[in-house]
Amino acid sequence: MTARSRLVALAGLALATAAAAQPPRPYAPAAARPGAPAAYPIDLPTALRLADANNPTVGVARARVREATAQLDRAKVAWVPSLTAGGTFFYHEGIDQNRRGDTFVVDRGNATLGAGPALRVDLADALYLPLVARQALRGANAQAAATANAVQLDVAVAYLDLVELHGLRAVNADILDRTEQVLAAAEAGAKAGLNKTAADVNRAAAEVNLRREEGIVLRGRAAAASARLARMLLLDPVVELLPHEPAVVPLVVVPGETTLEELTQTALRARPEVAAAAAGVAGADALVRQSRMAPLLPRVQAEFVGGGLTGFRDSPDRQSSPLVSQYNAGVALTWNLESLGLGTAAVVRTRRAGLDAAVLRLREAEALVAAQVVEAAETAAARFDALGAAQEAVRQAEEMYRKFRAASFGMVGPRAQFDALEPLTAVQALNAARVQYLQQVVEFNRAQFRLHAAIGQPALGGLDGAVRQPVDVPAVPGPGRAPGP
- Checking if the pLDDT of 484 tops 90, the result is no
Per-residue pLDDT band at 20 (split at 50, 70, 90): very low
d(CA 455, CA 432): 34
Residue 197's pLDDT is what?
74
29 within domain boundaries: no
302 within domain boundaries: no
247-248 vs 82-97, strand pairing mode: unpaired
Alpha helices in 410-470 (DSSP H): 421-454, 459-462
Residue 218's alpha-carbon distances to 36, 47, 143, 221, in angstroms, are 19, 22, 37, 5
127 within domain boundaries: no
Residue 200's pLDDT is what?
80
Residue 483's pLDDT is what?
39
- Checking if the pLDDT of 156 tops 60, the result is yes
Per-residue pLDDT band at 9 (split at 50, 70, 90): very low
Beta bridge partners of 94: 106
291 and 344 in contact (C-beta within 8 Å)?
Answer: yes
Alpha-carbon torsion, ordered 177, 182, 185, 191, to 10 deg = -120
Of 450, 139, 93, which is closest to residue 283 (Cα–Cα)?
139
Within 53-138, strands assigned E span 82-97, 103-122
CATH number at residue 62: 1.20.1600.10
Give the phi and the psi of residue 118 in degrees, each rounded to 5: -140, 135
Residue 474's pLDDT is what?
55
Mean pLDDT value across residues 22-26? 45
- Checking if the pLDDT of 371 tops 90, the result is yes
Residue 21's pLDDT is what?
43
74 within domain boundaries: yes
d(CA 7, CA 16): 14
13 within domain boundaries: no
The one-letter code for the residue type at 82 is S
263 within domain boundaries: yes
476-477 vs 247-248, strand pairing mode: antiparallel
d(CA 148, CA 54): 11
Share of the chain above pLDDT 90, in %: 49
420 within domain boundaries: yes
Domain of 154 in residue numbering reads as: 44-80+132-294+343-477
Residue 118's pLDDT is what?
84
79 and 99 in contact (C-beta within 8 Å)?
Answer: no
Per-residue pLDDT band at 279 (split at 50, 70, 90): very high
196 within domain boundaries: yes
Min mean pLDDT across 160-174, 325-339, 447-461 is at 325-339
Please list the helix, strand and coil fractions of the chain in percent, rounded to the nearest 5, in that order. Answer: 65, 15, 20
What is the Cβ-side half-sphere exposure of residue 426, based on CA atoms within 13 angstroms? 23
Residue 12's pLDDT is what?
45
Residue 291's pLDDT is what?
93
Which positions ≥6 away from 267 have C-beta within 8 Å? Answer: 274, 369, 370, 372, 373, 454, 455, 456
Q: For 239-252, what is each residue's pLDDT tens digit?
A: 899 998 777 889 89
Task: Please tell me the total count of domains within the chain.
Answer: 1
Mean pLDDT value across residues 431-460? 93
Min mean pLDDT across 38-42, 213-217, 222-226, 348-352 is at 38-42
Alpha-carbon torsion, ordered 15, 17, 22, 23, to 10 deg = 140
Residue 36's pLDDT is what?
54
SS3 88: strand
Mean pLDDT value across residues 450-457? 94
d(CA 130, CA 214): 62
476-477 vs 82-97, strand pairing mode: unpaired
The one-letter code for the residue type at 199 is A
- Checking if the pLDDT of 318 tops 60, the result is yes
Angle, CA 306 vertex, CA 303 and CA 312 arms, to 5°: 125
| Greater pLDDT, 186 or 281 | 281
